[in-house]
A and B are shown apart, each in its own frame.
Chain A
Amino acid sequence: MRYLLSGARVLGGEPSDISIEDGVITSVVPGAAGRAGGDPEVVDAAGLVALPGLVDLHTHLREPGREDAETVETGTSAAALGGFTAVHAMANTDPVADTAGVVEQVWRLGREAGHCDVFPVGAVTVGLQGERLAELGAMADSAARVRVFSDDGRCVDDAVLMRRALEYVKAFDGVVAQHAQEPRLTVGAQMNEGELSGRLGLRGWPAVAEEAVIARDCLLAAHVESRLHVCHVSTAGSVEIVRWAKAEGWNVTAEACPHHLLLTDELAATYDPVYKVNPPLRSANDVEALRQGLADGTIDVVATDHAPHPHEDKDCEWQSAAFGMLGLETALSVVQQTMVDTGLIDWAGVAERMSHVPARIGRLSDHGRPIAEGEPANLVLYDPSGSHVVDAMQTASLSRNTPYAGRELPGSVVATFLRGRPTVLDGKLA
């Protein structure tokens, strides 16, 4: 199949015609150039921004085990609609993705669904129990070719276990993605610890519980000369620690989630658990620090931490509710609002933080490539004009726990191409 994306603004630049054939970009011609022979299907991309297909380093697809919340099919549909061509599926499934068998199953489910590529994340420890290393090598050597390892949802808090994990993954160029949360400091924690948590009577999740672990892990990564990735950085202090580690030249990368770039802990005053997430929504000061850190490169990437939960797990007391919020379908709009429309980064900067760099961290060869002749045709066409009001009932995800319901967000994904094949056209699944 051949496609001509006419008049697309590559990385927000001047209009170009992008030709795609057999899964590869065959030409990128500036200006409204002539039509290639052989009648390609023409997609009118006038005014649309063309970005490389987005890559999410942090997605919960819930399958196997919680197919009532999300499946690989529905989760990757949501991903495609959000402009993603690759997602990393977190390991906290049931059974846990801690063996070659489970990661291969998830990988295969992704291939069968076909909406975007699924790269399973392997658990660092057996059953996420934090006691002994899972068979990281077997997962790395499996058909799923796992390179990112994480106990996400739980912190690898044992220092020696974290050290061994960082050391061990060097053998296959892996990375340990840490959910930084000192467990003893956060027993029963419900929301950001601050004046509001005291007033609301909700147990606090102090910033130091995140920052102390990040600082330790940066030092460990430096000591064993390995690669550390810090998941969902949420505090101003964490940004400072990562900035320091980078200044030292250590191999540390970090991600921020869209919700931490937009929302603050004030929303907890509603006691509506749709705003309950881990790490929690923080203060306006933290939000500003994350935006600045993402703009200046301290925070390398945006990752969604898309965390579907069935309705009954959110339609209850805050304390009983599950942590997490949807993110795949709204990520690009939130990044536009918080980073592009504010002038902090341009569209090339978005491509860097949502495609090129996450692909590099995950060691993906066919994603996060430039939009240029001969490159794999993984692309998203995005309309930054206009806005839409988010409707929780309209999610492709099986779950509805979007914190943006009723909120007006800018822009919309018009089309997504995975290896030259549209997964989304006219804003709908193709």
Chain B
Amino acid sequence: MRRHLLSAADLDRPEAELVLQTADELRSLADRPIKKLPALRGRTVVNLFFEDSTRTRISFEAAAKRLSADVINFAAKGSSLSKGESLKDTALTLEAMGADAVVIRHWASGAPHLLANSGWVRSSVVNAGDGTHEHPTQALLDAFTLWRHLGSLDGRRIAIVGDVLHSRVARSNALLLRTLGAEVTLVAPPTLLPVGVDGWGVETSYDVDAVLPKADAVMMLRVQRERMSLEGGGFFPSAREYSRRYGLDSRRMATLQDHTVVMHPGPMIRGMEITADVADSHRSVIVEQVTNGVAVRMAVLYLLLSGNDSGGQA
């Protein structure tokens, strides 16, 4: 496999399937009493988080630790407004510490790309979510979850519903699910679909009720309340109107096919984009996504780091 994972578009179909197969093998580890492999013993994985994300960080941390890697958590909290240490200086510090992989979460789109291509570090770079750009390991864990429930994704219809405009999850999923042969429909109010989305090779719809009955899976995206205010862009009038037009409630859930699963990348806002009874229903695979997240991230770290060997014992 390649050295970095920056975008879901980096993966062709055989590579993506290799990640899923590897994750499948590693997932069985979760059911064993001792959840640890020596594959990355002696290697150092740095979780470099410029943005708070407890769930993604602990998922990567668990993944690295289960492969026996040493883990350093570096929470360089900052915003575009506060100018602290630059990304460059942070990167040079990590390089000096001898990181083998840097898992980076950043508020700026393209920051992982910059880190990987600037020559500042020699380590592998894994994008753990950058701005409103991409979140490729989330897409991989979503694909993995779908694959376990639906088998091959060829011709499967996946509806992604919510704030597509600001969603790195939607971008990465649109890319990866297409690579794996699925048909993706992005569903959102027109204000929350990016300009030029027609060129993404996916279907779009403003009408969630028309899309749901045909879907094999429904992926709900988080919708932040601040998007309502004019400062947030004024993308929709009220939470109530959003829920009414795009939220997944039990009435809408009843229109789904029997085998259709409901997903959410978390964190959920119950009552906004998804009602509590849907989130807790038998169709929901939301908790399973978390378990799969660790397996997929193990697979990614394993494949990236065992490719450029320097002491790995895989």
CA distance A319 to B130 in the complex (A): 11
Bound-state CA distance A206–B195 (Å) is 10
A317 to B200, CA, bound (A): 25
Query: With A198-B194, A201-B134 known to touch, is A271 a contact of B110 (CB < 8 Å)?
Result: yes
Residue of A nearest to B109 (CB): A201
Residues in A lying within 8 Å of B, measured CB to CB: 190, 193-204, 206, 270-271, 312, 315-320
A194 to B197, CA, bound (A): 9
The docked-state distance in angstroms from the alpha carbon of A413 to that of B176 is 50
A195 and B196 within 8 A (CB): yes
Q: Any chain A CB within 8 A of the CB of B225?
A: no
Partner of A319, one of B109, B195, B198: B109
Tell whether, in the assembled complex, residue A319 and residue B86 are in contact, meaning their CB atoms are under 8 Å apart: no
Q: Take A201-B131, A201-B134, A201-B168 as given contacts and tell me if A319 and B108 are in contact as well, using a CB distance cutoff of 8 Å.
A: yes
- Assuming A271-B113, A317-B111, A319-B108, is B88 touching A201 (CB within 8 A)? no
Question: What are some 25 contacts across the A-B interface (CB < 8 A)?
Answer: A194-B195, A195-B197, A195-B198, A195-B199, A197-B194, A197-B196, A198-B195, A199-B196, A199-B199, A201-B110, A201-B130, A201-B168, A204-B194, A204-B195, A270-B117, A271-B114, A315-B88, A317-B111, A318-B110, A318-B114, A319-B107, A319-B108, A319-B109, A319-B110, A320-B80
User: Which residue in chain B gives the minimum CB-CB distance to A321?
Assistant: B108
* Interfacial chain A residues near B171, Cβ < 8 Å: 199, 201
Inter-chain contact B168/A317, CB cutoff 8 Å: no
Interface residues of B in 107-130 (CB under 8 A from A): 107-111, 113-114, 117, 130
> How many angstroms between the C-alpha atoms of A190 and B108 in the bound complex?
11
Cross-chain contact A320 with B108 (CB below 8 angstroms)? yes
CA distance A270 to B117 in the complex (A): 9
Q: Counting CB contacts under 8 A, is B133 at the interface? A: yes
Distance between Cα atoms of A204 and B194 in the complex (Å): 9
List residues of B whose CB falls within 8 A of some A CB: 80, 83, 86-88, 106-111, 113-114, 117, 130-134, 168, 171, 194-200
Q: Which residues of chain A come closer than 8 Å to B108, judged between CB atoms?
A: 317-320
User: Nearest chain B CB to A214's CB is how many angstroms away?
Assistant: 20
In the docked arrangement, what's the CA distance between A195 and B201, Å? 12
Contact A316/B109 with A196-B196, A197-B196, A198-B196 known, Cβ cut-off 8 Å: no
A317, B114: Cβ atoms closer than 8 Å: yes
A270 contact set on B, CB distance < 8 A: 117
Chain A residue, CB-CB nearest to B131: A201
Minimum CB–CB distance from B19 to chain A (whole Å) comes to: 22
Inter-chain CA distance A11–B196, complex, in Å, is: 44
A317 touches B195 (CB 8 A): no
A193 to B196 CA separation, bound complex (whole angstroms): 8
**Bound: A320/B86 CA distance, A:** 10
- Nearest chain A CB to B114 CB, angstrom units: 6
Q: Would you give the shortest CB distance from A315 to chain B, in whole angstroms?
A: 6
Contact (A317, B196) CB under 8 Å given A201-B109, A201-B132 = no
Q: Contacts of A317 on B, CB cut-off 8 Å?
A: 87, 106, 108, 110-111, 114
Instruction: Provide the residues of chain B in CB contact with A193, threshold 8 Å.
Output: 195-196
Distance in angstroms between the alpha carbons of A270 and B118 in the assembled complex: 11
CA distance A203 to B113 in the complex (A): 17
Nearest A residue to B113 via CB reads A271
- Of all chain A residues, the one with the shortest Cβ separation from B6 is A271
Task: Report Cα–Cα, A202/B111, bound state, in Å.
Answer: 11
Most-contacted residue by chain B among A198, A204, A270, A315 (CB, 10 A): A198
Inter-chain CA distance A204–B132, complex, in Å, is 12
Selected from A199, A203, A271, A320, the residue in CB contact (under 8 A) with B200 is A199
Task: Name the distance in Å between B259's Cβ and chain A's nearest Cβ.
Answer: 32
